[in-house]
Structures are given as C-alpha cells and as structure tokens.
Structure 1
Amino acid sequence: MGADVPRETTTSRATDRPGDTSPFALGLLLRQAHWRAATVMAEALKPLGIELRHFAVLIVLVDRGATVQRDLAVATGSDKAGIMRVVDDLERKGLAVRKAVPGDRRARAVEVTPRGVELFDAAHVAAEPLAERLVAGLGPGEPELLRDLLTRLAYPAGDKA
C-alpha cells in the first residue's frame, strides 16, 4: 500500500504565490528565482551560440582544468548520455577537446580550448548588464546579502563538498 499520510490538516497549504507561508514556500520561491535567473542568463548566452548546459560544463573545465566525462556529469548534475551530447556540441564549436587519459583506455578527459576560454570570458561580459537587471529591484547591499544567504543555504557549514 501507500505511505501513511497524517490525517492532521495544516492551516498553510503551498500555493506557489507571493506570501505563501507553507513549509514548501522557500523551495517554491527558490524554484521561481532559479527559473528567472536561468532565463536571464540564457538570454546572455544565446548571442554567443551556447546554452546554459554548455556554459555549466565550461565553468567546470575553466575551474578544474581537464576533467573526465563522468566527473563532468556529476559536477553538472547531468547523466552520461547528456554530458556526452554537451561535450559533442562543445567539440563541434571548437570550445573543448577530448583527450585520452593515461593509464585508462576507456576514459576521456575534456579540456577547454583557448577559444572556449575566450567565449567563457565573453559570456561574463555579456551577462553583466543582465545580472544587474535581475537584481534591480533590490536595495543597496541586498544583492550581496542575497548572494551570501544563498551561498550559506547551498553550502551549509560543516557539509563536505
């Protein structure tokens, strides 16, 4: 049978509207904020010919250097087939290359190319005015506070990353 469902009714039900006080409110707000931010960042990347999924891989490659595909999948929350498609796209665009991993005939490491680094830097320049627009409704110091709070929520003290 199904899970036991408590019969007690809560006075606050999730509505996905501003002012929601349900236990799901924070998650729903974060989801809405994510969608809004992702839409804005996708707008910045579109003229550069890449999508957020491509940029997510470039972030990892620029930060870590050459990375095995399975580790890229974990780092970006992708699956094996999805990461292969993204890396295929990046290779076709000349933004990344696959290289053999010494000692492992089956594994391939992905490395960002100089062109990939240029595009990565260009994406930051393109995103700056859109990122400012994203937080335009916040007051002085609030964008920094929001970044700090979200960082602490995403990376709680004591958690091992």
Structure 2
Amino acid sequence: MTADVPHRTTVSRVTDRPGDASPFALGLLLRRAHWRAAAVMEEALRPLGIELRHFAVLIVLVDRGATVQRDLVAATGSDKAGIMRVVDDLERKGLAVRKAVPGDRRVRAVDITPQGIELFDAAHVAATPLAERLVAELGPGEPEQLMDLLTRFAHPADGEA
C-alpha cells in the first residue's frame, strides 16, 4: 500500500545562483556577498595584526566613544563572551582600554586609545585598494548605488529590524 502524497507540479529549490527566484535567494546572496567582502577586509587587516571582529569593535568606539561592554555586544552582533575576548585582545595590543563607569562599580566602558585610532586610520588606507578591487566588476555609478541600496536595506527608515 502506498501513502497518499500530494503531487507537486513545481518545486522551487533554493540556491544562491544568479536568477534564483526562491524567497531565500536574497538572504543567500547577502551571505555570499558578506563572505566575499569579509575575506577582502580580513586581507587588509591581517598585516595590521587584527581581525574583522576586532575592527568591528574599533568602529563602534570611533563612532560612539567609550562604550559599555553590553552595548558592544548589541552593536557588533556578538555575544558577551566573544566581546570579552575581543576587548581582552584589543587591550593586550594597546588599542583599547577598559575604564570604570562612574556610579556603577560593576560596569566597565571600553575606549579606544591613540594607538587604536592610528591603527583604525591605517586600516582604511590599507583597505581602499582592496575595496576598489571588490567592486571592480560593477559599472560606473554602481558601487555607489549598491552602497545606497544596502544602507537603506540594513537601516530601514521606520526602524524595523
């Protein structure tokens, strides 16, 4: 005896190939784009002795100034233990320091050091030619268009996550 299985006429199999109409295609393409961009940025950071996870924290510190560790977790999409390790690494390298937060002995804020700012600036100089190589396949104006679209996608006007 055979089970009654509904017959499907069309099945969309998810891939990340160009032209995939699957509802998962956008997420898969963004993941592939992230892997590619992250690999290029890691290449720029490697000679400076840091990784992308370190640089993500430096970006937050440059943008916000001294930041408590729990806010670094949220800002970088990391977890508490991961941020502790990254901040430990940054402190060992002299790129960041932990400071007491007035009024709360249990909380520590992390701040970038002058050496951290120098490295942050050096990373941008090192990444520029690699970033240009990353978008070399795009036509005139398309790198700017891609940045605009991704910015609006990642930061919707109504604050949706």
Pairwise TM-score range, normalised by the shorter structure: over 0.9
TM alignment of 1:45-124, pairs within 5 A = 45-124=45-124
Please state whether the residue corresponding to 1:98 is helix, strand or coil: strand
Larger gyration radius, structure 1 or structure 2: 2
Give 1:149's aligned residue.
149
Distance 2:160 2:65 in 1: 21
How many residue pairs were aligned? Answer: 156
2:30 corresponds to 1:30: yes
RMSD: 1.7
Q: How much does 1:8 deviate?
A: 6.3
Please state whether the residue corresponding to 1:94 is helix, strand or coil: coil
Residues 99/142 of structure 1: CA separation in 2 closer, same or farther (3 Å cut): same
Residues 120/9 of structure 1: CA separation in 2 closer, same or farther (3 Å cut): farther
Deviations 1:90-132 (A, max 9, x none): 0000000001000001000000000000000000000000000
Structure 2 unmatched ranges of 5 or more: 1-6
Q: How much does 1:16 deviate?
A: 2.2
Decide which moves more: 132-141 or 21-30. 21-30
Please state whether the residue corresponding to 1:97 is helix, strand or coil: strand
The one-letter code matched in structure 1 to 2:89 is: D
Please state whether the residue corresponding to 1:108 is helix, strand or coil: strand
Structure 1 unmatched ranges of 5 or more: 1-6
Give 1:4's aligned residue.
none
Please state whether the residue corresponding to 2:15 is helix, strand or coil: coil
2:42 corresponds to 1:42: yes
Please state whether the residue corresponding to 1:74 is helix, strand or coil: helix
Please state whether the residue corresponding to 1:126 is helix, strand or coil: helix
The one-letter code matched in structure 2 to 1:18 is: P
* TM value normalised by structure 2: 0.92
Please state whether the residue corresponding to 2:75 is helix, strand or coil: helix
Q: How much does 1:19 deviate?
A: 2.1
Tell me which stretches of 4 or more aligned residues in structure 1 moved more than 6 Å: none
* TM value normalised by structure 1: 0.92
Please state whether the residue corresponding to 1:18 is helix, strand or coil: coil
Residues 9/153 of structure 1: CA separation in 2 closer, same or farther (3 Å cut): farther
